[in-house]
Amino acid sequence: MITTIIVFIIVFGIIVISHEFGHYYMAKKSGIMVREFSVGMGPKLVYYRKNNTTFTLRLLPLGGYVRMAGDADEDDEIKPGTPVSVQIGSDNKITSINTSNKHQLFNGIPVTVVKADLVDKLFIDGYENGDESELKHYVVDHDATIVENDGTEVQIAPRDVQFQSAKLPNRMLTNVAGVFNNFILAIIVYTILAFVQGGVAMTNNQVTVLPSNSVARDAGIKSGDKILSVDGTKTPDWNTLAMELQAKPDKKINVKVDRNSQQKTFTFKTKSQKSNGKKVGLIGISQGIDRSFTGKLFGGVTTTLSTAKTLLAALWSMVTGHFSLNDLGGPVAIFATTSQATKFGVDGVLRFLAFLSLNLAIINLIPIPGLDGGKLLLNIIEAIRKKPVSEQTETVITLIGFGFLMLLMILVTWNDISRYFLH
């Protein structure tokens, strides 16, 4: 259990950091201020500030986020009557504003705010030290910081460095940069795996017959054979072949193979096993292995493309066919799968890391508000309309999408608990 927890945190941490770093890097390149880069969710444990960004480690290792200036859910407005303390720099401009009771500014001047603007005009009007006989006007430095209620110090968000102030192409690239990084991470890990394993699985329809418990071997199929079709359905690659076989548990099938340019047909019954709560067919074969240096070097790309094709096909079948919660998995399912992956050592963990990174990339591209794909869709609508969707409309759409995702997450999590621990 301890090993599983450690591996889960490491794997999830690598994927989250890779994804969020994509957003962070592209935002910085686009002139968008990144106020916070958080690993984890919930209460903060520690934070560190560098280059106008606060890097935060939070308690729950279930995700992370990059908080950019101008995010729709941000509220930096300091309401009239709010007591704050401010720090004044050598040029008589405010360099830091403290709104938290948990954090004290060194040499902070107590001020009761009457009016403030931290976006456009950058000022605070208020009463110093409770003296209401004189209203003081303070100019706020463009690069000033604000200490929020939970004690986290972040940069203020002037208009010129906000997300919406960046050019549309830069905003689109920023929105998809996390997905791009997850694809790159999958390629790198699959390439490492190819060298660790001494080869890479071929994506064509050439198979290796397992030495035991193989109905394919018993029927006469041999390693090196290429399976051309299953029950008349052509199987030009491993993904198509695997899906055809998995869809036929405990069924009699006709398999046509190519052996040394000669075609043969075999008829036999598949076996079955449980996978994610449902029966899948299998015949005791595995993918052929390419052990050449070139095969290993480019194995990360070929495996990533092949796996992505399988995931997209599965996603499409969920949309067009019978949808089941068993087709989805949340943190509980990921934890359970981590436990299985650790049993296969480094190979299993690397394979799981690459698959999960690729899975996250594809899911994030779905055009649902709240996901990167939903944000990209709004960007495309803006490009077509020649003007952005109103802030109010975008907020409503995002809240609806977020609500849908939360409801789906609750249902998936409960289904995972029932599937893995109650049955």
Distances (CA, A) of 245 to 36, 82, 113, 240, 269: 47, 66, 69, 9, 11
Report the DSSP pairing between strands 93-98 and 135-147. parallel
Are 351 and 337 in contact by the 8 Å Cβ rule? The answer is no
Paired strand residues for 87: 96
Distances (CA, A) of 239 to 206, 212, 360: 12, 23, 20
Distance between CA 137 and CA 115 in Å, rounded?
9
In sequence order, what are the residues at sequence separation of 6 or more whose Cβ sits closer than 8 angstroms to the Cβ of residue 413?
330, 331, 332
Give the residue carrying structure tokens 């299953």.
Answer: 230
**Would you state the structure tokens that stand for residue 215, as one six-digit string?**
């109905």
| Three-state DSSP string of 108-146 | CEEEEEEEEECCCCCEEEEEECCCCCCEEEEEEEEEEEE
Q: Is 391 a catalytic residue?
A: no
Distance between CA 160 and CA 127 in Å, rounded?
29
In sequence order, what are the residues at sequence separation of 6 or more whose Cβ sits closer than 8 angstroms to the Cβ of residue 292?
none
Please state, as a whole number, how many other Cβ atoms lie within 10 Å of the Cβ of residue 246: 17
Q: Which of 20, 153, 244, 394 is catalytic?
A: 20
Q: Would you mind telling me the total number of residues written for the chain in this entry?
A: 423
Q: Which of 238, 201, 183, 196 is nearest to 350 (CA)?
A: 196
**Would you state the structure tokens that stand for residue 19, as one six-digit string?**
């994804």
Distance between CA 334 and CA 360 in Å, rounded?
12
Please state, as a whole number, how many other Cβ atoms lie within 10 Å of the Cβ of residue 105: 19
Residues noted as catalytic: 20
